[in-house]
Amino acid sequence: AQSVTQLDSQVPVFEEAPVELRCNYSSSVSVYLFWYVQYPNQGLQLLLKYLSGSTLVESINGFEAEFNKSQTSFHLRKPSVHISDTAEYFCAVSDFSGGYNKLIFGAGTRLAVHP
Amino acid sequence: ETGVTQTPRHLVMGMTNKKSLKCEQHLGHNAMYWYKQSAKKPLELMFVYSLEERVENNSVPSRFSPECPNSSHLFLHLHTLQPEDSALYLCASSPAGTALAYEQYFGPGTRLTVT
């Protein structure tokens, strides 16, 4: 069975500092990986995804994630965070084992950006 | 309206009430999902509908009853709930059966409080 581990439940960081949110996955088949962000009192929004091709994927708001097959990781990074990046971040891996699409989510990492 | 919408956004109900949550997607997708998000717990996948057929029921108590009358609408009927059922209920949709199937789009959620 596929699984996702987010190693940090909370990450506090100062504004304009770099940040890395860690994600490791367990999968025996080809993987498709996602990062979602959830702002307070909202649903999950897709931040970026890795389906194939370049192992480095970027979002429109400065986040990037790198697919590392040998490390089975898909860590999320941003070189300089803003207060507005405060949110919960979920890593997910696709699962098609039942003949239909579903996502397996990690437990989430709460990013708190302080002034 | 665009994307995935959910109504109501907030719901308070007693343990003997019957209520329904509604989800509607305007994306032309044909797979829909219900998730439960409780404080300090990972996202729990409750039900999956693919091409209007229920394909997954993750040991959800019978006091939760899903209904998918067509590919655009999904309901979650609630009756005789318990206080531990208080949570954010998220609906999501995705295409089914294509390479884009691995990406899900979420609604804003219904915040349910059982008193």
Of A99, A101, A108, the CB nearest to B94: A101
The structure tokens listed for A105 are 């989510």
What does the pLDDT average to over B96-104? Answer: 69
Q: How confident is the model at residue B59 (pLDDT cuts 50, 70, 90)?
A: confident
Count CB-CB contacts under 10 A for residue A98: 11
Q: Is the pLDDT of residue B80 over 70?
A: yes
Q: How confident is the model at residue B98 (pLDDT cuts 50, 70, 90)?
A: low
Contact A105 B42 (CB under 8 A): yes
CA distance B88 to B86: 7
Of A42, A100, A108, the CB nearest to B108: A42
What does the pLDDT average to over B92-112? Answer: 83
The predicted structure's pLDDT at residue B99? 57
The structure tokens listed for B97 are 């059966």
Could you list the pLDDT tens digit for every one of the 115 residues in chain A?
Answer: 788 999 999 999 999 999 999 999 997 677 889 999 999 888 999 999 998 788 888 888 899 999 999 999 999 999 999 999 999 999 999 887 777 778 899 999 999 999 9
CA distance A18 to B62: 46
The predicted structure's pLDDT at residue B89? 97
- Say if B42 is an interface residue toward chain A (CB within 8 Å): yes
CA distance B77 to B72: 17
Which of these, B104, B40, B6, B74, lies nearest to A42 by C-alpha position? B6
CB within 8 A of A27, min separation 6: which ones? A2, A72, A93
The predicted structure's pLDDT at residue B106? 95
Q: Is the pLDDT of residue B78 over 80?
A: yes
The predicted structure's pLDDT at residue A30? 74
Which of these, A19, B38, A52, lies nearest to B46 by C-alpha position? B38
CB within 8 A of A47, min separation 6: which ones? A34, A35, A36, A37, A59, A63, A76, A89
What does the pLDDT average to over B24-29? Answer: 93
Q: Is the pLDDT of residue B50 over 60?
A: yes
Q: Torsion over CA of A79, A80, A82 and A87, rounded to 10 degrees?
A: 30
Q: How confident is the model at residue B26 (pLDDT cuts 50, 70, 90)?
A: very high
* Half-sphere exposure (Cβ direction) of A12: Cα atoms closer than 13 Å: 2
The predicted structure's pLDDT at residue A39? 93
Contact A101 B56 (CB under 8 A): no
- Say if B66 is an interface residue toward chain A (CB within 8 Å): no
Contact A98 B105 (CB under 8 A): no
